[in-house]
Structure 1
Amino acid sequence: MTLANTSPATPLISRHRGHPLWLAFMLHRLSGLGLALFLPAHFWLLSQALEAERMDVMLGWTANPFFTFAEFGLVFLLAVHFFGGLRLLALEFLPWSAGQKTLAAVSLAGAFLVAGAFLLNAL
């Protein structure tokens, strides 16, 4: 890449941020962050199982439709992180190909498929 092709209006550091593979990387990173933020709440809820009455109250919350869509979001984050990680492994261990954008799109489509199937099953 030559610096002669860059214009002053678009700095070199931010030009890559519109690229689909950078967006796939960012989605993978943000899904990991979302999962990391979910874990303390999940462990706190598991700690409520030590007392049956408190656990029954917590499980009563799951009848709320909000939690069904929150579960969809969690499964989507898990699927995006999983398929994005597979894409990254393919980048590391397979030869570079022109179809990397296709792999990123397939990983996102797979995540939507898994999360959508979970949501339809929950409804």
Structure 2
Amino acid sequence: MIRPHRSHPLWLAYFLHRVSGLALALFLPFHFLLLSMVISQPQTADALLRFTDHLTVKLAEGGLVFLLAVHFFGGVRLLALEFLPWSGKRKTITAAAIAFAFFVSGSFVLRAV
């Protein structure tokens, strides 16, 4: 059974913003580990960077860009709702934020593949 507040489109925006933030927070330690390997173990870092040429890794990177775009545009949406005058366009702003996220990540995937 779906709770009534969870069927609201803005709840989906709330949920995506929280999940994308959590996923990005989980990704960052691995990113910093790879950056430290570039300095301390360049051969290992080169092998890992060659691994990123695989299609599945490129698609995963596209997913990561999508999460980053969703989190960014979701944050912009929240700032707009917080600081701009209230209007009935909240669903439109939310839909535009998600559409921009798909556009940014889709452009990245098409360019990377």
What TM bracket, shorter-length normalisation? over 0.9
Measured in 1, the distance between the counterparts of 2:70 and 2:50 equals 29
User: What percentage of residue pairs aligned between the two structures are identical?
Assistant: 58
SS of 2:27's partner is helix
What letter is aligned with 2:30? A
Alignment of 1:76 with 2:66, yes or no, is: yes
SS of 1:96's partner is coil
Offset at residue 95 of structure 1 (A): 1.5
What letter is aligned with 2:11? W
- CA offsets per residue over residues 46-97 of structure 1, 9 Å max, x none? 1211222111111111111111001101100110001000100011001111
SS of 1:63's partner is coil
Equivalent residue, structure 2, for 1:94: 84
Alignment of 1:37 with 2:26, yes or no, is: yes
Measured in 1, the distance between the counterparts of 2:58 and 2:30 equals 16
Equivalent residue, structure 2, for 1:48: 37
TM-score (structure 1 length as normaliser):
0.86
TM-score (structure 2 length as normaliser):
0.93
**Alignment size in residue pairs:** 112
Equivalent residue, structure 2, for 1:4: none
Measured in 1, the distance between the counterparts of 2:50 and 2:43 equals 11
Structure 2 gap ranges (5+): none
Measured in 2, the distance between the counterparts of 1:24 and 1:77 equals 12
- CA offsets per residue over residues 13-39 of structure 1, 9 Å max, x none? x32111001110111111000100100
Measured in 1, the distance between the counterparts of 2:106 and 2:54 equals 19
Offset at residue 122 of structure 1 (A): 0.4
C-alpha RMSD over aligned residues: 1.4
Structure 1 gap ranges (5+): 1-8
Measured in 1, the distance between the counterparts of 2:86 and 2:4 equals 21
Which is greater in Rg?
1
